[in-house]
């Protein structure tokens, strides 16, 4: 009997190499692609056809887009999570949920092996291995590229030698697409001084004339775009299209990997960047100062733990409970001006806008206190400083 192996398959260079290699070695390879919102139905059909061409015994497509939004993305929005104030965790978050789906599938069919195409130098290998070990401990993990320290050029040569038509120019960039963003890795991102070329980004600038959009939030979640009520997943997809036309949401992230080395990756994430910035602006108007101050470090921890493959730790559910509780008044509309390569937050409207409170207006009049109250407050507020500096004056 052939040995059943579930391959986390994307149709890219690394997983194509794994598929051809394992099929040649006599494995019964089940290719499983987990769609987290980055593929069209037409693209998924082509990936399936290609998998069978390369030797897949059985191909499965698992769609987790709605689950991914409900269990993860909404909390990234609630927390305004940007790793190192730059990266919206496009791949880190997505990869964790893909790993869990692959593990559940392999457990269901009682596969003897689970395979992924990660190298030994990045974060994805840890996310895959942790999820597989926890959810599907019955399976042995196989990682050909990690174990043999293969370069992308070596993978291309192997595939060409085995009759697979593959273009090096297209294969030299590693591209991972999902609803929350697309990562782009290549020779430039292995350096510290080179930027990605315009052509490296999957979405090209196609609109120059500025336009204004409006995003509506209810209890922290995006619910309408330009006045049209939409499901959050559909809204994100449409916002990716709108922002993508202006090439908005591009950047290069530099950060610390779980292994302790520095990593650099390019990305385009128009919807994620626009939603996080719009949501954050709305929160500045509707949350108290203590909510904002306490949310920031907790959200940072949430993003860090998610990035470092700790999604299954119960502390994540605890932080999620706090983040969700904080969104009670985060409702309203945010207007944004879109222009080529950048955007501008125009302003917000919200029934909970504390800037428009009838009690007091910043720099203007108030109805809650008079001048004597203000002087007394300031006098007491400055007491600690007066006490501290009094010793300096005495000495």
Q: Enumerate residues 6+ apart whose C-beta is below 8 A from 255.
A: 83, 84, 87, 262, 263
pLDDT tens for 282-322 read 999 999 999 999 999 999 999 999 999 999 999 999 999 99
pLDDT category at 390 given cuts 50, 70, 90 is confident
Residue with tokens 């130098």: 121
Q: What is the mean pLDDT of residues 46-74?
A: 97
> How many C-beta neighbours within 10 Å does residue 130 have?
20
391: exposed, middle or buried (C-beta count within 10 Å: 0-12, 13-18, 19+)?
exposed
Report pLDDT for 364: 66
Mark residue 37 as left, alpha or beta (left: phi above 0; alpha: psi -120 to 50; beta: remaining): left
pLDDT(168) > 70: no
Q: What is the mean pLDDT of residues 51-77?
A: 97
CA distance 1 to 7: 18
Report pLDDT for 262: 93
Q: What does the domain layout of the chain look like in residue ranges?
A: 3-173, 178-349, 358-394
Report pLDDT for 363: 65
> Edge-to-edge, what's the strand order for the sheet holding 211-218?
228-229, 221-225, 211-218, 332-339, 342-349
Pick the CATH number of 178-349 from 3.90.1260.10, 3.40.109.10, 3.40.50.620, 3.30.360.10: 3.90.1260.10
Of 79-83, 133-137, 329-333, 369-373, give the lowest mean pLDDT range. 369-373
More confident residue, 173 or 339: 339
Please give the angle made by the CA atoms of 390, 391 and 395, to the nearest 5 degrees.
120
Q: What is the mean pLDDT of residues 49-62?
A: 97
Report pLDDT for 47: 96
pLDDT category at 367 given cuts 50, 70, 90 is confident
Report pLDDT for 1: 63
pLDDT(170) > 70: no
Q: What is the mean pLDDT of residues 168-192?
A: 86
Q: 312-327: buried (b, 16+ CB within 10 Å) or exposed (e) per residue?
A: eeeebeebbebbeebb
Report pLDDT for 171: 67
pLDDT(174) > 90: no
Q: What is the mean pLDDT of residues 219-244?
A: 97
| Average pLDDT over the chain, rounded to an integer | 94
Q: What is the fold of 3-173? A: Rossmann fold (3.40.50)
Residue 276 in contact with residue 299, Cβ under 8 Å? no
CA distance 381 to 226: 45
pLDDT category at 344 given cuts 50, 70, 90 is very high
Report pLDDT for 152: 87
Residue with tokens 């950060």: 255
Q: What is the mean pLDDT of residues 42-53?
A: 96
pLDDT(179) > 80: yes
Q: What is the mean pLDDT of residues 335-354?
A: 97
Report pLDDT for 358: 76
Q: What is the mean pLDDT of residues 14-40?
A: 95
| 367, 369, 375, 379 alpha-carbon torsion, rounded to 10° | -130
Q: What is the mean pLDDT of residues 270-286?
A: 98
pLDDT(366) > 80: no
Q: What is the mean pLDDT of residues 254-262?
A: 92
Residue 85 in contact with residue 299, Cβ under 8 Å? no
Q: Is the pTM of this model over 0.85?
A: yes
CA distance 253 to 348: 29
pLDDT tens for 2-13 read 799 999 999 999
Give kind and range of the element (H or E) at residue 122.
none
pLDDT(176) > 70: yes
Q: What is the mean pLDDT of residues 25-32?
A: 96
Give CA separation, 345 vs 86, 279, 333, 335, in Å.
17, 11, 11, 6
**Residue 132: what are its φ and ψ, rounded to 5°?**
-65, -45
Report pLDDT for 321: 98
CA-based nearest residue to 123, from 305, 320, 315, 302: 305
């Amino acid at each position: 009997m052939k040995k059943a192996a579930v391959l986390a398959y994307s149709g890219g260079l690394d997983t194509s190499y794994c598929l051809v290699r394992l099929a040649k070695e006599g494995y019964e390879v089940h290719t499983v692609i987990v769609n987290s919102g980055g593929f069209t139905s037409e693209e998924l059909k082509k990936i399936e056809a290609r998998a069978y061409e390369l030797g897949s015994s059985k191909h499965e497509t698992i769609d987790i887009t709605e689950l991914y939004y409900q269990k993860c993305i909404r909390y990234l929005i609630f927390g305004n999570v940007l790793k190192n104030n730059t990266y919206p965790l496009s791949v880190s978050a997505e990869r964790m949920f893909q790993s869990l789906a692959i593990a559940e599938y392999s457990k269901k069919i009682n596969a003897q092996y689970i395979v992924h195409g990660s190298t030994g130098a990045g974060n994805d290998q840890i996310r895959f291995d942790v999820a597989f070990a926890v959810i599907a401990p019955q399976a042995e993990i196989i990682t050909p590229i990690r174990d043999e320290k293969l370069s992308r050029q070596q993978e291309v040569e192997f595939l060409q030698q085995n009759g697979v038509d593959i273009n090096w120019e297209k294969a030299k960039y590693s591209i991972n697409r999902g609803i929350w963003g697309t990562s782009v890795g290549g020779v430039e991102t292995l350096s510290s001084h080179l930027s990605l070329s315009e052509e490296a980004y999957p979405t090209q600038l196609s609109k120059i004339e500025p336009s204004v959009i409006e995003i509506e939030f209810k209890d922290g979640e995006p619910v309408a775009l330009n006045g049209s009520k939409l499901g959050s997943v559909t809204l994100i997809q449409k916002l990716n299209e709108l922002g993508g036309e202006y090439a908005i949401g591009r950047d290069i992230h530099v950060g610390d990997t779980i292994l302790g080395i520095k990593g650099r990756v390019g990305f385009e994430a128009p919807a994620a960047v626009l939603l996080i910035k719009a949501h954050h602006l709305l929160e500045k108007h509707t949350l108290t100062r203590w909510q904002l101050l306490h949310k920031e470090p907790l959200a940072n921890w949430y993003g860090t733990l998610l990035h470092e493959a700790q999604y299954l730790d119960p502390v994540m559910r605890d932080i999620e409970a706090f983040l969700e509780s904080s969104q009670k008044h985060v409702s309203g509309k945010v207007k944004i001006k879109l222009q080529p390569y950048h955007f501008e937050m125009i302003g917000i409207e919200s029934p909970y806008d504390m800037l428009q409170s009838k009690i007091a207006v910043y720099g203007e009049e108030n109805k809650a206190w008079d001048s004597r109250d203000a002087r007394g407050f300031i006098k007491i507020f400055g007491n600690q400083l007066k006490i501290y500096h009094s010793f300096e004056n005495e000495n």
